[in-house]
Amino acid sequence: MNDPNGFCIFNNEVHLFYQYNPYTSYETGIAHWGHAISKDFFHWEHQPIPMYPDQWYDATGVFSGSALIENNTMYLFFTGNVNYPGETPDHINHQALAWSTDGVNVTKYENNPIINGSLTMPNLRDPKVWEYEGTYYMVLGNSLNETYGRALLYSSNDKISWDYVSVIAQSNGSLGYMFECPDFFELDGKYVLLFSPQGIEPSGDKYHNLYQTGYIIGDFDYSTHTFTPTSEFVELDHGHDFYATQTTLDNLGRRIVIAWFDMWEQNYPEAADGFTGTMTIPRELRIVNGQLVQKPVVEIGNIKGKQVSAIKGKYTLSNKAGEVNVVADGRKDFKLYIASSNVTVTISYDAANGKVTLDRGGSDGVRRTDWRPAGRGQLKWKIFVDASSIELFCGEGEVSFSSRFFPADAVTIYQRGGASVFKVRDIVRSMPRPT
Ligand code: FRU
């Protein structure tokens, strides 16, 4: 799997579609959409493949897109990709529409594409659609002259006929050559453009992944369709594996984000287990002090687990999965190790410089960012460990790190530094793991 798609609430259930190659986990294939349904953002049930690449306009991929719920119908907007090997350009992205009334069976609109890619060649993709005061809006990822990434706004009165409206944001070179998976939403009185730019060069502690995901906060004027940034571009996560985010608004009014918990071209050692790629824990987004903060959805707290408190030594998880809560003296350095026989992930706090580092070892193992406990008080970290992943949330979610790791056997957690202690919720799952 890769990108999350069509993330929405339909008939009180959470639907998550995603980019999916059903034939092999060893290589990227022609994208289909996969589909899973959840009642709590945590337990998911797999559904039949809702969309195959079976039309002229999506023959080499039912690429990413989003959902709009209206009149008990789930409208799905997606990019149909067609490759033309050896030609210039070598691919075209069309925008297309499909729908479902039962949330499982999907019908593609017979007069697709709704935006013909031969007029917008070649890179215009990943439609995110919403409605505002009777007009439909679509934000799309694009590249100006294959050199400057940008996000374009289109609008429509009927979901079928779309007109170009404006450029919402454009790279001046420093934000890369292409924007993928743009999302644009109102949150806490501001507008947030969340997107995945390609081609940003590493700089200091920043931008060390192949591609980035981050956001710009600003104000949006619907009468002029202009987005006026009030923040810089900020990475949403600081780990190795976090890309192609998508958000939805749930029935409680929460803005929830989910990301592909992987990165292109990594070849992680999971294909032999029958899968490649996974999703992050869904996280609730808020704007606090002009910055996006993210917290794992509260439903994650309902996972059954054995609570083990105040560990000073070490703790071995029963089944490689658990929630670790650290509370330490924010004035002192601190180190936590998450280790197996073949890999050790070290998460450390450098109190003098106010930095958090996650080091998973190997080449390019280090990711680091600025962070200090609020008011220089207690250091509080919440860490979710799963069979191949670590998600670290610092403080109230000001900073997160999402990184994959591949422990060969039991996972043990231990600490160094201070008289601090950590607590573990040891999650013994009944779910079978691939062998
Ligand atoms: C992002 C992306 C999207 C595209 C999809 C194809 O990871 O490249 O731009 O729609 O993946 O699978």
What CATH number does residue 134 fall under?
2.115.10.20
Q: What distance lies between CA 369 and its chain's CA centroid? A: 19
| pLDDT reported for residue 116 | 97
| pLDDT reported for residue 434 | 39
Protein residue with its CA nearest to atom 8 in ligand 1: 180
Q: What distance lies between CA 209 and its chain's CA centroid? A: 14
Do 232 and 155 reside in the same domain of the chain?
yes
Cα separation of the two ends of the chain:
19
314: Cβ contacts below 8 Å, ≥ 6 apart? 412, 413, 414
Q: Judge whether 403 lies within some domain.
A: yes
Q: Pick from 301, 303, 188, 300: which is nearest to 249 by CA?
A: 188
Given strand 107-108, what is the order of strands in its sheet? Answer: 62-70, 73-83, 91-100, 107-108
Rounded to whole angstroms, the Cα distance separating 54 from 60 reads 9
4: Cβ contacts below 8 Å, ≥ 6 apart? 16, 17, 18, 244, 245, 246, 258, 259, 260, 279
- DSSP code of 282? P
Q: Pick from 143, 169, 140, 170: which is nearest to 153 by CA?
A: 140
2 Cβ closer than 6 Å to some ligand 1 atom? yes
Do 397 and 422 reside in the same domain of the chain?
yes
Asked whether 263 and 283 are in contact (CB, 8 A), the reply is no
Q: Judge whether 285 lies within some domain.
A: yes
| pLDDT reported for residue 135 | 98
Asked whether 314 and 299 are in contact (CB, 8 A), the reply is no
Q: Is 396 left (phi over 0), alpha (psi -120 to 50) or beta?
A: alpha
Q: Which helix (H) or strand (E) holds 93?
A: strand 91-100
| pLDDT reported for residue 431 | 52
Q: What are phi and psi of 25, to 5 degrees?
A: -95, 0
Do 18 and 54 reside in the same domain of the chain?
yes
Do 310 and 328 reside in the same domain of the chain?
yes
Which CATH number is 412's domain given?
A: 2.60.120.560
Q: Which helix (H) or strand (E) holds 303?
A: none
Angle made by CA atoms 413, 264, 294, in degrees to the nearest 5: 55
Handedness of CA 399, 7, 240, 167 (dihedral sign): negative
Do 33 and 94 reside in the same domain of the chain?
yes
The pLDDT mean for the chain works out to 94
Asked whether 30 and 60 are in contact (CB, 8 A), the reply is yes
Ligand 1 atom nearest to 180, measured from its CA = 9
Q: Judge whether 335 lies within some domain.
A: yes
* Whether residue 3 lies in the annotated active site: yes
Do 180 and 196 reside in the same domain of the chain?
yes
User: Which residues in the chain show pLDDT less than 50?
Assistant: 432-435
Q: Judge whether 111 lies within some domain.
A: yes
Domain boundary among 283, 299, 315: 299
Do 235 and 122 reside in the same domain of the chain?
yes
Q: Judge whether 78 lies within some domain.
A: yes
Quick one: tokens of 236? 């949403």
Q: Pick from 419, 208, 429, 240: which is nearest to 317 by CA?
A: 429
How far does the centroid of ligand 1 lie from the alpha carbon of residue 264, in Å?
10
Q: Pick from 359, 383, 384, 354: which is nearest to 369 by CA?
A: 354
Query: How many domains does the chain divide into?
Result: 2
Angle made by CA atoms 274, 280, 283, in degrees to the nearest 5: 160
Look at residue 404 and give its three-state secondary structure: strand
* Residue from 63, 76, 81, 140 whose mutation best tests the ligand 1 pocket (most atoms within 8 A of CB): 63
> What pTM does this model have?
0.96
Which residues, listed in sequence order, are joined to residue 300 by a DSSP beta bridge?
A: none
Do 381 and 271 reside in the same domain of the chain?
no
| pLDDT reported for residue 54 | 98
Helices (H) then strands (E): counts for the chain: 0, 33
- DSSP code of 138? E
Asked whether 116 and 94 are in contact (CB, 8 A), the reply is yes
Q: Pick from 165, 136, 171: which is nearest to 225 by CA?
A: 165
Rounded to whole angstroms, the Cα distance separating 325 from 316 reads 15
Q: Judge whether 388 lies within some domain.
A: yes
Look at residue 375 and give its three-state secondary structure: helix
How far does the centroid of ligand 1 lie from the alpha carbon of residue 214, in Å?
16
Do 217 and 307 reside in the same domain of the chain?
no
Rounded to whole angstroms, the Cα distance separating 366 from 391 reads 15
How far does the centroid of ligand 1 lie from the alpha carbon of residue 261, in Å?
14
How far does the centroid of ligand 1 lie from the alpha carbon of residue 1, in Å?
11
**How many residues appear in the chain?**
435
Task: Report whether the peptide linkage leading into residue 89 is cis, meaning its omega lies within 30 degrees of zero.
Answer: yes
Do 423 and 283 reside in the same domain of the chain?
no
Do 272 and 415 reside in the same domain of the chain?
no
Domain boundary among 276, 299, 322: 299
Q: Judge whether 434 lies within some domain.
A: no
**What range defines the domain where residue 14 resides?**
4-299
58 Cβ closer than 6 Å to some ligand 1 atom? no
Q: Judge whether 433 lies within some domain.
A: no
Domain boundary among 284, 299, 314: 299
Do 285 and 328 reside in the same domain of the chain?
no
* Residue from 78, 93, 126 whose mutation best tests the ligand 1 pocket (most atoms within 8 A of CB): 126
| pLDDT reported for residue 277 | 94
